[in-house]
């Protein structure tokens, strides 16, 4: 069975697919993760100031980035249903 996942504009099939498509999927996924990390950093850094621990800020960015990524993928899958 072929499953389709949407990462932004790119739709990725995760089974019975060629090596090239799989590479495209990993690339698209990485781009999305990278964008989420940058977005999370912008959100966190807008709320913090000097004196905040770097590790605490990094932790917050990672958590928020992952939440953004997770939410985005879920949303894309929901929108992708029936297509």
Partner 1 sequence: MTDMSRTHAHVVKETSGARAMRNPSDIKVKGGAMEGDDHAAISSRIPYLVIRSGCMIAASELVSKIDSETQSRDEIAQATVNIANRIYERFVELSQERRKNRRHKVDVSAKILVEDKVFDCNLWNISHGGAMVSPLLSLHVGVSVGLKLGRNKPIPARIAAIGAKQTNLTFLSNEIEPEWLQGIIVKLLEANRTAGD
Per the document, the length of the chain is 83
Torsion angle (degrees, nearest 10) of CA 9, 13, 19, 25: 30
CB of 72 to partner 1, least distance (A): 14
CA distances in angstroms from 27 to 14, 30, 33, 82, listed in the order given: 13, 5, 10, 25
Contact residue for partner 1 among 23, 74, 75, 80 (CB under 8 A)? 23
Q: Is 75 in the site for partner 1 (CB under 8 A)?
A: no
Binding interface with partner 1 (CB under 8 A): 1, 3, 23, 26-27, 29-31, 33-38, 40-42, 44-46, 48-55, 57-59, 61-63, 65-66, 70
């Amino acid at each position: 069975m072929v499953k389709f996942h949407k990462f932004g504009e790119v739709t990725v099939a995760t089974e019975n697919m060629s090596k090239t498509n799989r590479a495209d999927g990993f690339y698209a996924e990485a781009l999305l993760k990278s964008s989420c990390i940058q977005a999370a950093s912008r959100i966190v850094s807008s709320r913090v100031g000097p004196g905040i621990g770097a590790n605490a800020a990094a932790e917050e960015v990672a958590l928020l980035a992952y939440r953004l990524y997770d939410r985005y993928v879920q949303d894309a899958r929901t929108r992708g249903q029936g297509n």
